Amino acid sequence: MNPVEGSDPSAPQAAEGPAAELPAVAPQLRELRRRAALTLEAASRAAGLSPAHLSRLETGQRQPSLPMLLALARVYGTTVSELLGETVAERHAIVRAADMEPTPAGGWTYWQAGAPGRGMQALRVHVPHGSQGDIVRVHPGEEWLYVLTGRLRLRLGDTAHMLAPGDSAHFDSLTPHRIAAADPGGAELLFVHTLLQSPTAALCLGPVAGHLTPGELS
């Protein structure tokens, strides 16, 4: 970080010492990383930082630059304003059925069932028969799903499960997993996962159409 114009060149630069100018950044960085269910190593790798450097940012020993804030905001699925501890605009708690527009992605169809900008994303998902059943997904975070209609084949590691309507699953997303509809009519489910926007999350789906990006889906 360059010295501010007009300041004393001999004075220590903020980037080399405690972040006195941004006292709220350190606790916010740690809290948002934990909310995203990311380890220090996973978050630093996604943001292009070393774990040691991110640790210093979280403990207030270093002050983040704007590019670092932008990278961390992307990884944590939030805004620079929230990273800085500024007041965030009130989010709507209610999502009306009429506002849930279908979005195709990799053969599946998604409806946003939760508010944007949260630490978790809630979706209603239609899984057609024969679509993406051979894709193995591995990424940081947690997932919870609840089968509404049809039967769902879920493979976690080396174990295969058949889920019927009313069944649910809650698992660590680092466990290799595959999801497929078992019935010709497909399956519909409720799906909640930690919101990750990192390069590793792009492995979860194929090309995504519409306003959702691969990092927003599991």
- Rounded to whole angstroms, how far apart are CA atoms 89 and 45? 29
pLDDT reported for residue 212? 35
pLDDT along the chain (218 residues), means of 10: 36 37 68 87 90 90 82 81 65 82 89 76 92 85 93 96 98 92 96 60 36 35
Q: Closest by alpha carbon to 141, among 56, 198, 92? A: 198
The 3-state secondary structure of the chain, one letter per residue = CCCCCCCCCCCCCHHHCCCCCCCCHHHHHHHHHHHCCCCHHHHHHHHCCCHHHHHHHHCCCCCCCHHHHHHHHHHHCCCHHHHCCCCCCCCCCCCCHHHCCCEEECCEEEEECCCCCCCEEEEEEEECECCCCCCCECCCCEEEEEEEECCEEEEECCEEEEECCCCEEEEECCCCEEEEECCCCCEEEEEEEECCCCHHHHHHCCCECCCCCHHHCC
**Phi, psi angles (nearest 5°) of residue 145:** -140, 150
- Rounded to whole angstroms, how far apart are CA atoms 218 and 212? 11
Four-residue CA torsion sign, 84, 89, 95, 98: negative
pTM: 0.55
